[in-house]
Amino acid sequence: MSGDLVFESGFLKQLETLYILSRRLKRGSGRGEHLSSRKGYSLELSDYRNYTVYDDFRHIDWNVSSRLEKLFVKVFRAQEEMTIYLLLDASSSMATGNPSKLHYAKHVAASLAYIGLSSLERVYCGTFAEKLKTLIPLGRNRQSFHKLLRHLSGIKPSGRTDLNKSLSEYARTAKKPGIVILISDMLDENGFSGGLLSLLYARLEVFVIQVLDKSDMHPFATGPLKLTDRETGKTITLHVDDSIIDLYTQHALKHTNGLKDFCMRKEIDFIQTDTELPFTDLVLKYLREGSRIR
Protein backbone atom coordinates (compact mmCIF):
# COMPACT_ATOMS: atom_id res chain seq x y z
CA MET A 1 0.00 0.00 0.00
CA SER A 2 2.91 2.32 -0.60
CA GLY A 3 1.68 5.83 -1.42
CA ASP A 4 -1.83 5.10 -0.18
CA LEU A 5 -2.90 8.15 1.83
CA VAL A 6 -6.37 6.87 2.67
CA PHE A 7 -5.61 3.56 4.38
CA GLU A 8 -3.36 4.00 7.38
CA SER A 9 -0.50 1.81 8.54
CA GLY A 10 -1.70 -1.46 10.03
CA PHE A 11 -4.89 -1.55 7.96
CA LEU A 12 -4.08 -4.90 6.35
CA LYS A 13 -3.36 -6.40 9.76
CA GLN A 14 -6.79 -5.26 10.94
CA LEU A 15 -8.34 -6.84 7.87
CA GLU A 16 -6.64 -10.15 8.46
CA THR A 17 -7.98 -10.16 12.03
CA LEU A 18 -11.48 -9.43 10.71
CA TYR A 19 -11.18 -12.24 8.19
CA ILE A 20 -10.15 -14.74 10.88
CA LEU A 21 -13.11 -13.66 13.01
CA SER A 22 -15.43 -13.92 10.01
CA ARG A 23 -14.32 -17.52 9.44
CA ARG A 24 -15.26 -18.33 13.03
CA LEU A 25 -18.65 -16.73 12.59
CA LYS A 26 -19.27 -18.70 9.39
CA ARG A 27 -19.21 -21.92 11.36
CA GLY A 28 -22.53 -20.83 12.86
CA SER A 29 -25.60 -19.71 11.01
CA GLY A 30 -24.53 -16.15 10.31
CA ARG A 31 -24.23 -14.18 7.10
CA GLY A 32 -21.19 -16.18 6.01
CA GLU A 33 -23.21 -19.25 5.09
CA HIS A 34 -24.23 -19.24 1.42
CA LEU A 35 -25.64 -22.74 1.06
CA SER A 36 -28.33 -23.34 -1.48
CA SER A 37 -30.20 -26.20 -3.05
CA ARG A 38 -29.26 -24.76 -6.46
CA LYS A 39 -26.22 -26.03 -8.29
CA GLY A 40 -23.10 -24.07 -7.33
CA TYR A 41 -19.42 -23.99 -8.03
CA SER A 42 -18.49 -26.51 -5.31
CA LEU A 43 -19.97 -29.22 -3.13
CA GLU A 44 -19.93 -29.50 0.63
CA LEU A 45 -20.24 -32.80 2.47
CA SER A 46 -23.51 -32.75 4.35
CA ASP A 47 -24.24 -36.26 5.67
CA TYR A 48 -24.09 -40.01 5.02
CA ARG A 49 -26.83 -42.52 4.19
CA ASN A 50 -27.12 -46.21 3.39
CA TYR A 51 -25.94 -47.28 -0.04
CA THR A 52 -28.56 -48.45 -2.57
CA VAL A 53 -28.10 -50.12 -5.94
CA TYR A 54 -29.11 -46.86 -7.62
CA ASP A 55 -26.23 -44.87 -6.10
CA ASP A 56 -22.98 -44.00 -7.84
CA PHE A 57 -20.39 -46.47 -6.61
CA ARG A 58 -17.82 -43.66 -6.51
CA HIS A 59 -19.69 -41.90 -3.69
CA ILE A 60 -19.16 -44.72 -1.20
CA ASP A 61 -17.14 -43.61 1.81
CA TRP A 62 -14.91 -46.61 2.43
CA ASN A 63 -13.56 -45.34 5.75
CA VAL A 64 -17.01 -45.00 7.30
CA SER A 65 -18.26 -48.19 5.65
CA SER A 66 -15.34 -50.26 6.99
CA ARG A 67 -15.86 -49.00 10.54
CA LEU A 68 -19.59 -49.68 10.54
CA GLU A 69 -19.37 -52.82 8.36
CA LYS A 70 -22.06 -51.49 6.06
CA LEU A 71 -21.93 -49.47 2.85
CA PHE A 72 -22.56 -45.73 3.20
CA VAL A 73 -22.51 -43.02 0.53
CA LYS A 74 -21.65 -39.38 0.94
CA VAL A 75 -24.47 -36.86 0.68
CA PHE A 76 -23.48 -33.48 -0.70
CA ARG A 77 -25.19 -30.15 -0.89
CA ALA A 78 -24.32 -27.48 -3.42
CA GLN A 79 -22.50 -24.42 -2.20
CA GLU A 80 -23.73 -21.52 -4.28
CA GLU A 81 -21.36 -18.88 -5.58
CA MET A 82 -22.10 -15.61 -3.84
CA THR A 83 -21.66 -12.38 -5.78
CA ILE A 84 -21.09 -9.31 -3.62
CA TYR A 85 -21.87 -5.89 -5.05
CA LEU A 86 -20.38 -3.06 -2.96
CA LEU A 87 -21.99 0.28 -3.78
CA LEU A 88 -20.32 3.35 -2.29
CA ASP A 89 -21.85 6.84 -2.08
CA ALA A 90 -19.21 9.36 -3.24
CA SER A 91 -21.45 12.45 -3.36
CA SER A 92 -20.45 15.77 -1.81
CA SER A 93 -22.47 15.18 1.36
CA MET A 94 -20.10 12.33 2.23
CA ALA A 95 -17.30 14.89 2.76
CA THR A 96 -18.62 16.01 6.15
CA GLY A 97 -17.13 14.82 9.42
CA ASN A 98 -13.63 14.32 10.77
CA PRO A 99 -12.75 11.76 9.54
CA SER A 100 -15.21 12.21 6.72
CA LYS A 101 -18.09 9.85 6.10
CA LEU A 102 -16.47 8.89 2.79
CA HIS A 103 -13.17 8.04 4.52
CA TYR A 104 -15.09 5.81 6.94
CA ALA A 105 -17.18 4.25 4.16
CA LYS A 106 -14.05 3.39 2.17
CA HIS A 107 -12.71 1.44 5.14
CA VAL A 108 -15.97 -0.48 5.51
CA ALA A 109 -16.11 -1.25 1.77
CA ALA A 110 -12.46 -2.36 1.69
CA SER A 111 -12.97 -4.58 4.74
CA LEU A 112 -15.99 -6.37 3.32
CA ALA A 113 -14.28 -6.76 -0.06
CA TYR A 114 -11.21 -8.29 1.59
CA ILE A 115 -13.32 -10.80 3.49
CA GLY A 116 -15.30 -11.65 0.36
CA LEU A 117 -12.21 -12.08 -1.82
CA SER A 118 -10.47 -14.15 0.85
CA SER A 119 -13.52 -16.43 0.84
CA LEU A 120 -13.25 -16.68 -2.97
CA GLU A 121 -16.50 -14.80 -3.51
CA ARG A 122 -17.00 -12.73 -6.66
CA VAL A 123 -16.85 -9.03 -5.75
CA TYR A 124 -17.78 -5.88 -7.66
CA CYS A 125 -17.34 -2.33 -6.38
CA GLY A 126 -19.22 0.68 -7.68
CA THR A 127 -19.43 4.35 -6.71
CA PHE A 128 -22.20 6.83 -7.39
CA ALA A 129 -23.46 10.35 -6.79
CA GLU A 130 -26.06 11.75 -9.19
CA LYS A 131 -25.48 8.65 -11.33
CA LEU A 132 -23.46 5.45 -11.32
CA LYS A 133 -19.80 6.46 -11.71
CA THR A 134 -17.74 3.29 -11.84
CA LEU A 135 -18.15 -0.46 -11.59
CA ILE A 136 -14.95 -2.36 -10.87
CA PRO A 137 -14.99 -6.18 -11.25
CA LEU A 138 -12.50 -7.95 -8.98
CA GLY A 139 -11.08 -11.42 -9.53
CA ARG A 140 -11.84 -14.04 -6.90
CA ASN A 141 -8.49 -13.69 -5.11
CA ARG A 142 -6.65 -11.46 -2.68
CA GLN A 143 -4.40 -10.04 -5.38
CA SER A 144 -7.40 -8.09 -6.67
CA PHE A 145 -7.64 -6.32 -3.33
CA HIS A 146 -4.75 -3.93 -4.06
CA LYS A 147 -6.51 -2.93 -7.27
CA LEU A 148 -9.51 -1.99 -5.15
CA LEU A 149 -7.40 -0.02 -2.67
CA ARG A 150 -5.87 2.03 -5.46
CA HIS A 151 -9.33 2.72 -6.83
CA LEU A 152 -10.79 3.72 -3.45
CA SER A 153 -7.81 5.94 -2.66
CA GLY A 154 -8.50 8.04 -5.74
CA ILE A 155 -12.19 8.66 -5.01
CA LYS A 156 -13.03 12.26 -4.07
CA PRO A 157 -16.50 13.37 -2.91
CA SER A 158 -18.32 15.35 -5.59
CA GLY A 159 -21.73 15.89 -7.09
CA ARG A 160 -25.29 15.68 -5.86
CA THR A 161 -26.94 12.53 -4.54
CA ASP A 162 -29.55 10.80 -6.67
CA LEU A 163 -30.21 7.49 -4.97
CA ASN A 164 -33.18 6.49 -7.11
CA LYS A 165 -31.41 7.09 -10.44
CA SER A 166 -28.10 5.56 -9.33
CA LEU A 167 -29.58 2.44 -7.76
CA SER A 168 -31.93 1.85 -10.69
CA GLU A 169 -28.99 2.10 -13.08
CA TYR A 170 -26.97 -0.24 -10.89
CA ALA A 171 -29.77 -2.81 -10.83
CA ARG A 172 -29.61 -3.00 -14.62
CA THR A 173 -25.87 -3.79 -14.52
CA ALA A 174 -26.14 -6.68 -12.02
CA LYS A 175 -26.15 -9.76 -14.23
CA LYS A 176 -26.09 -12.36 -11.44
CA PRO A 177 -28.07 -12.75 -8.20
CA GLY A 178 -26.16 -11.65 -5.14
CA ILE A 179 -26.06 -9.20 -2.30
CA VAL A 180 -25.80 -5.43 -2.73
CA ILE A 181 -24.15 -3.72 0.21
CA LEU A 182 -25.10 -0.05 -0.05
CA ILE A 183 -22.85 2.26 2.01
CA SER A 184 -24.25 5.79 2.09
CA ASP A 185 -25.50 8.55 4.36
CA MET A 186 -28.85 8.09 2.56
CA LEU A 187 -29.39 11.86 2.59
CA ASP A 188 -31.31 12.61 -0.58
CA GLU A 189 -34.18 15.08 -0.64
CA ASN A 190 -35.78 13.09 -3.47
CA GLY A 191 -35.99 9.92 -1.38
CA PHE A 192 -34.67 6.40 -1.76
CA SER A 193 -37.62 4.02 -2.16
CA GLY A 194 -37.61 3.78 -5.97
CA GLY A 195 -33.94 2.91 -6.08
CA LEU A 196 -34.09 0.30 -3.34
CA LEU A 197 -37.14 -1.31 -4.94
CA SER A 198 -35.32 -1.55 -8.27
CA LEU A 199 -32.59 -3.61 -6.55
CA LEU A 200 -35.20 -5.93 -5.08
CA TYR A 201 -36.95 -6.28 -8.47
CA ALA A 202 -33.56 -7.37 -9.88
CA ARG A 203 -33.65 -10.27 -7.39
CA LEU A 204 -30.79 -8.86 -5.37
CA GLU A 205 -30.49 -9.17 -1.62
CA VAL A 206 -30.01 -5.68 -0.20
CA PHE A 207 -28.14 -4.51 2.87
CA VAL A 208 -28.07 -0.79 3.70
CA ILE A 209 -25.28 0.59 5.87
CA GLN A 210 -26.14 4.20 6.69
CA VAL A 211 -23.02 6.15 7.66
CA LEU A 212 -23.66 9.44 9.47
CA ASP A 213 -21.65 12.10 11.19
CA LYS A 214 -22.85 13.19 14.63
CA SER A 215 -23.73 16.61 13.21
CA ASP A 216 -26.13 15.02 10.70
CA MET A 217 -28.49 14.18 13.54
CA HIS A 218 -27.47 16.66 16.25
CA PRO A 219 -25.99 19.95 14.96
CA PHE A 220 -24.22 21.90 17.69
CA ALA A 221 -23.40 25.33 16.21
CA THR A 222 -25.60 28.23 17.32
CA GLY A 223 -25.83 31.95 16.68
CA PRO A 224 -25.85 33.86 13.37
CA LEU A 225 -24.62 31.39 10.74
CA LYS A 226 -24.16 31.23 6.98
CA LEU A 227 -25.02 27.67 5.91
CA THR A 228 -24.02 26.20 2.55
CA ASP A 229 -25.45 23.04 1.02
CA ARG A 230 -22.42 20.96 -0.04
CA GLU A 231 -24.26 19.42 -2.98
CA THR A 232 -26.20 22.36 -4.44
CA GLY A 233 -24.00 25.26 -3.33
CA LYS A 234 -27.06 27.15 -2.06
CA THR A 235 -26.49 29.31 1.01
CA ILE A 236 -28.78 30.74 3.65
CA THR A 237 -28.11 33.03 6.59
CA LEU A 238 -30.08 32.57 9.79
CA HIS A 239 -29.81 32.79 13.53
CA VAL A 240 -29.67 29.26 14.95
CA ASP A 241 -31.02 28.77 18.45
CA ASP A 242 -32.19 25.76 20.46
CA SER A 243 -35.64 25.78 18.84
CA ILE A 244 -34.12 25.62 15.34
CA ILE A 245 -31.84 22.76 16.41
CA ASP A 246 -34.80 20.89 17.92
CA LEU A 247 -36.79 21.33 14.70
CA TYR A 248 -33.87 20.09 12.61
CA THR A 249 -33.33 17.08 14.88
CA GLN A 250 -37.00 16.12 14.62
CA HIS A 251 -36.84 16.32 10.82
CA ALA A 252 -33.62 14.24 10.69
CA LEU A 253 -35.11 11.63 13.00
CA LYS A 254 -38.26 11.45 10.87
CA HIS A 255 -36.11 10.78 7.81
CA THR A 256 -34.03 8.01 9.41
CA ASN A 257 -37.09 6.40 11.00
CA GLY A 258 -38.78 6.42 7.60
CA LEU A 259 -35.75 4.67 6.13
CA LYS A 260 -35.75 2.06 8.89
CA ASP A 261 -39.49 1.44 8.52
CA PHE A 262 -39.19 1.07 4.74
CA CYS A 263 -36.35 -1.42 5.09
CA MET A 264 -38.29 -3.43 7.65
CA ARG A 265 -41.39 -3.62 5.44
CA LYS A 266 -39.38 -4.68 2.39
CA GLU A 267 -37.16 -7.11 4.34
CA ILE A 268 -34.02 -5.09 3.61
CA ASP A 269 -31.26 -5.47 6.17
CA PHE A 270 -30.24 -2.17 7.72
CA ILE A 271 -27.53 -0.88 10.04
CA GLN A 272 -27.07 2.75 11.03
CA THR A 273 -23.73 3.96 12.33
CA ASP A 274 -21.74 7.12 12.83
CA THR A 275 -18.08 7.71 12.15
CA GLU A 276 -17.15 7.58 15.84
CA LEU A 277 -17.74 3.81 15.91
CA PRO A 278 -14.54 1.99 14.85
CA PHE A 279 -15.06 0.54 11.39
CA THR A 280 -13.86 -2.86 12.63
CA ASP A 281 -16.72 -2.94 15.16
CA LEU A 282 -19.21 -2.09 12.43
CA VAL A 283 -17.93 -4.85 10.14
CA LEU A 284 -18.19 -7.41 12.93
CA LYS A 285 -21.70 -6.15 13.63
CA TYR A 286 -22.52 -6.69 9.95
CA LEU A 287 -21.10 -10.22 9.99
CA ARG A 288 -23.12 -11.08 13.07
CA GLU A 289 -26.29 -9.53 11.56
CA GLY A 290 -29.29 -11.55 12.56
CA SER A 291 -32.17 -9.09 12.37
CA ARG A 292 -33.47 -6.73 9.74
CA ILE A 293 -32.95 -3.50 11.65
CA ARG A 294 -30.05 -2.36 13.86
pLDDT tens, residue by residue, 174-183: 777 889 999 9
**Is 256 a member of any domain?**
yes
Q: Which domain holds residue 215?
A: 11-28+81-287
Q: Do 91 and 111 lie in a common domain?
A: yes
CATH number at residue 136: 3.40.50.410
What's the average model confidence in pLDDT over 100-120? 90
**Is 4 a member of any domain?**
no
- Judged by average pLDDT, the poorest of 110-114, 132-136, 200-204, 260-264 is 132-136
> How confident is the model at residue 293, as a pLDDT?
46
Please tell me the total count of domains within the chain.
Answer: 2
Q: Do 24 and 71 lie in a common domain?
A: no
What's the average model confidence in pLDDT over 113-129? 87
More confident residue, 112 or 53: 112
**Is 5 a member of any domain?**
no
pTM above threshold 0.75: yes
Peptide bond before 157: cis, by omega within 30 degrees of 0?
A: no
More confident residue, 27 or 7: 7
Hey, how many other C-beta atoms are within 10 angstroms of the C-beta on 106?
A: 26
Q: Do 51 and 90 lie in a common domain?
A: no
Nearest-10 Cα torsion for 20, 25, 30, 36: 70
pLDDT band at 273 (very low <50, low <70, confident <90, very high): very high
**Is 189 a member of any domain?**
yes
- Judged by average pLDDT, the poorest of 50-59, 88-97, 104-113, 216-225 is 50-59
Q: Do 194 and 267 lie in a common domain?
A: yes
Q: Do 183 and 69 lie in a common domain?
A: no
**Is 210 a member of any domain?**
yes
Q: Which of 8, 69, 76, 15 lies closest to 41, judged by CA?
A: 76
Q: Do 51 and 99 lie in a common domain?
A: no
What's the average model confidence in pLDDT over 226-241? 68
Q: Which of 79, 107, 138 is the last residue of a domain?
A: 79
pLDDT band at 230 (very low <50, low <70, confident <90, very high): low
Q: Do 68 and 140 lie in a common domain?
A: no
Q: Do 197 and 223 lie in a common domain?
A: yes
Amino acid identity, residue 58? R
> How confident is the model at residue 245, as a pLDDT?
79
What element of type H or E holds 98?
none
Q: Do 155 and 207 lie in a common domain?
A: yes
CA 72 remoteness from chain centre: 42
Q: Do 104 and 179 lie in a common domain?
A: yes
Residues β-bridged to residue 29: none
> How confident is the model at residue 237, as a pLDDT?
73
Q: Is the pLDDT of residue 292 over 50?
A: no
Hey, how many other C-beta atoms are within 10 angstroms of the C-beta on 279?
A: 23
- What is the average pLDDT score of the chain? 79
What's the average model confidence in pLDDT over 145-162? 90
Q: Do 225 and 115 lie in a common domain?
A: yes
> In this structure, is the dihedral angle defined by the CA atoms of residues 146, 283, 154 and 121, taken in order, positive or negative?
positive
